[in-house]
Amino acid sequence: MKYRYFPGCSMEHNAITYHESLSAVVKKLGIELTEIEDWSCCGAKEFFSLDLLSACSLVGRNLAIASTMGEESHDLVTPCSACYLNLVKTDYYMATSEELNEKVNIALAEGELNYKPGTMKIRHFLDIIVNDVGYDLVEAHVKKPLYSLKVAPYYGCLVSRPGSSESYDDPEHPTSLDKLMRIIGADVVNYPLKTQCCSAHMTQIKEDVGLKMIHLLLQAAEENGADVIVTICPMCQFNLDAYQKSVNKKFGTNFHIPILFFTQLMGLAFDMGEEIGLGRELVDASFSLDKITAEPPEKEKPARAKRTEIPMPLSLGEEE
């Protein structure tokens, strides 16, 4: 399995653990990722908020470079949800607006590049794992299943709802990550806010509003008994991890829910060591990970409400 790979800026620094664990996991699974040469930032939300043509040209440069990297595969893979959105969006905008396509290509020509919309098929890394690698192959590599670890699967917004194109999963009730976590032995808890916003840039521009949302997300995880929240996006990880302390302070709560990348949990189940970057999260995960047991937990019988008969009229002479 060969893909072109767009890591995005976060993978270099704040989501370095995602980068490390992803690299370890792909090696194990026999996936070959070729990084786009000299890629630049995807522009986040910010370029698209200020100037359309520069935003599309910035992303277009990355798409153009990716499209010149040989004929083997036209799948462009990114692990970051925001990069995923921007790559998808630019490709779609260029395909639907001839005027924009023309202008972006005039701008790209200044750097001796060009891009024909539709050339690259943009995919998120989770999509590759569940649909190309497949659950069976993942399961075959599991050496230490994450028995008894209660995991809240958190998808966030952009992979579920890329806006300009269809997601490979359901936009509001995705299940691919749930299933992947079950395959590696974890106990997946119900997480009703699995596709809710992580507060994105709100933590920067209006912190109290951002913290309110993070509080809700952590509360929902705790109420459902989660030991960890597993994410697929650097921004989601950062907001929930880095601002958890502020949330506790502001709301008088005592959350201690580590936020890990799905690739880290996969690596853990594959019995990998240091290479998956555990220990660099701000909310320490060791306490939660100590809950993993060697044997599968005994299945508790779900408590069922006492059966009550449907009230029926008594027949003559019958006693209650």
When binding is defined by CB under 8 A, the residue of 30, 32, 70, 96 that contacts another protein is 96
Least CB distance to another protein at residue 140 (A): 32
* Binding piece for another protein, criterion CB under 8 A, among 94-102, 137-145, 181-189, 310-318: 94-102
* 266 vs 180: CA distance, rounded Å: 9
Phi, psi of 295 (to 5 degrees): -110, 150
∠ Cα 263 266 271 (to 5°): 125
Binders of another protein among 242-261, rule CB under 8 A? 242, 245-246
One residue of 22, 63, 104, 151 binding another protein per CB under 8 A? 104
Sign of CA dihedral 194, 196, 202, 206: negative
Given CA atoms 286, 214, 80, 122 in this order, what sign does their dihedral have? positive
- The site for another protein, by CB under 8 A, has a size of 71
Instruction: By CB under 8 A, name the one of 202, 220, 265, 269 that touches another protein.
Output: 202
Sequence-separated contacts (24+) of 278-281 with Cβ below 8 Å: 278/17, 280/16, 280/17, 281/17, 281/241
Of 121-160, which residues contact another protein (CB under 8 A)?
Answer: 157-158
Instruction: Check binding of 51 to another protein (CB under 8 A).
Output: yes
DSSP 97-155: -HHHHHHHHHHHHTTT----TTSSEEEEHHHIIIIII-HHHHHHH-SS--TT-EEEEE-
Q: Which stretch binds another protein (CB under 8 A): 124-132, 138-146, 196-204, 224-232?
A: 196-204
Segment lying near another protein (by CB under 8 A), choices 27-35, 56-64, 122-130, 173-181: 56-64
Q: Are 236 and 277 in contact (CB under 8 A)?
A: no
Q: Does 191 bind another protein (CB under 8 A)?
A: no
* Distance of closest approach, residue 110 Cβ to another protein, in angstroms: 4
Give the nearer residue to another protein in terms of CB position, either 164 or 293: 164
First to last CA, the chain: 69
Whole-angstrom distance, CA of residue 140 vs CA of residue 126: 18
Scanning residues 264 to 293, which ones bind another protein (CB under 8 A)? 280-282
User: Which stretch in 21-29, 53-61, 138-146, 307-315 sits in contact with another protein by CB under 8 A?
Assistant: 53-61
Q: How far is the CB of 30 from another protein (least distance, A)?
A: 29
Q: Which is nearer to another protein, 47 or 154 (CB)?
A: 47
**Who's near 295: CB < 8 A, 6+ residues apart?**
147
Among 5, 21, 23, 43, binds another protein (CB under 8 A): 43
> Is 106 among the residues that bind another protein (CB under 8 A)?
yes
Window 159-178: residues binding another protein (CB under 8 A): 161-164, 171-172
| β-bridge partners, 33 | 3
The phi, psi pair for 124, rounded to 5°, reads -85, 150
Phi/psi for 33 (5° steps) reads -105, 125
Nearer to another protein, 10 or 263 (CB): 10
